[in-house]
Amino acid sequence: MTNVSLVDLKVIEDARGKMIPLEYPKQLNFPLNRIYYIYDVDNNQTRGCHSHNKLDQLLIAVKGEVNILVKTPFEEKIVKLDSPSKGLYIGPMIWREMFDFSEDCVLLVLASELYDEKDYIRDYREYEQKALEYFRNEETNND
């Protein structure tokens, strides 16, 4: 799926436990400018429900599990994040919804840019219109 990929994060493991380091450009394909983590989410809640014009993000369930719906006007899929070593890269113009958080889930998100409300698209119809244009241009660029 365009602008979405599952990333197998390298675990550094020894008798003292496990560690996963993330920095750009070694393990990340975008510079790290912001992180946030989400926790204490009731199982019946859905988060996300927006897209970004140009943000790169990596989502990791560092504890517990959660389902992520990623969607464009052309395709959609659900990815289960259930391991600290499984990252979901989400690039620009992808609608995303997070749901089915386990009680213990901590979802860590790494982002390429500082917070900017103007980069969010929160209305699905507006997203669809912009995304049609975005992916049409992408296609042209790849011809």
Which residues of this chain interact with a copy of itself, rule CB under 8 A?
15-24, 26, 32-42, 45-47, 62-63, 84, 101, 104, 106, 108, 110, 114-115
| 45 vs 137, beta carbon nearer a copy of itself | 45
| 88 vs 131, beta carbon nearer a copy of itself | 88
**Smallest separation (angstroms) from a copy of itself to the CB of 130:** 24
| 113 vs 128, beta carbon nearer a copy of itself | 113
Distances (CA, A) of 37 to 16, 40, 56, 131, 134: 25, 10, 16, 27, 29
**Smallest separation (angstroms) from a copy of itself to the CB of 51:** 18
Antiparallel, parallel or unpaired: β 4-8 and 86-90: antiparallel
Encoded tokens for 103: 């009680």
Q: How far apart are the two ends of the chain, measured CA to CA in Å?
A: 17
Encoded tokens for 114: 């500082």
User: Is-catalytic flag, 50?
Assistant: yes
Q: Which of 50, 63, 86, 130 is catalytic?
A: 50
3-state DSSP assignment of residue 69: strand
User: Which of 138, 52, 65 minimizes the C-alpha distance to 103?
Assistant: 65
- Residues with a catalytic annotation lie at 50
